[in-house]
Structure formats: C-alpha cells, structure tokens
Amino acid sequence: MLQRAGLRHVPIKALRHTLASLLIAQGESLAYVRDQLGHHSIQITTEHYGHLVPGGNRAVVDRLDEVLAARPSATPAQLAVG
C-alpha cells in the first residue's frame, strides 16, 4: 500500500521521536510530551528528550561563567573546593 501511494516505510519509533522533537521545539513541557508518548515516568522522557529542551543547560553554563569570572586565576581543583 505504501509503494502504491509513493510513500516510504517509516518505523513507528521514528514517528514517536519526531512527535516528541516537534512538541519540544514548539515549547511544550516535558510533562506534556510524557503524557503524549505514554511514558510512566518523567524520568524516561527526560532521559530520551531532555537534551532537546532549548536553553535547558544555559543556566548551568551561565553560573560556571560567573564562578570563573570571579576567580580567573583559580585552578580546577580550587574551583571544585569552592
């Protein structure tokens, strides 16, 4: 049927990933994505799709920049101790 319609086969898993990716790109929460995919835990959704959240790690990087700016000559070991 797909060949007659001129369509290629796409695995269901790929369609699920596309749905999740598009929802996240549109700004939907991971909780909403979890519900749409039927995951039992937000942890599962976060493990698979958390990296797609725009700016998800930006706050962490910004805090590191602030620490480094405050102590530009500190060694990594000194920064780890605080």
* pLDDT tens for each residue of 58-70: 666 677 777 777 8
Q: Which residue has the tokens 């959704």?
A: 45
Domain locations in the chain as residue ranges: 2-81
What tens digit of pLDDT does each residue of 4-19 get? 999 889 898 999 999 9
Calculate mean pLDDT across residues 17-44.
93
Predicted TM-score (pTM) above 0.85: no
Q: Look at residue 54 in the predicted model and tell me its pLDDT.
A: 79
Greater confidence (66 vs 28) lies with 28
Cα distances (angstroms) measured from residue 28 to each of 15, 43, 53, 58? 17, 16, 9, 18
Task: Give the pair of three-digit tokens for residue 47.
Answer: 């493990």
List the structure tokens of 31.
């909780």
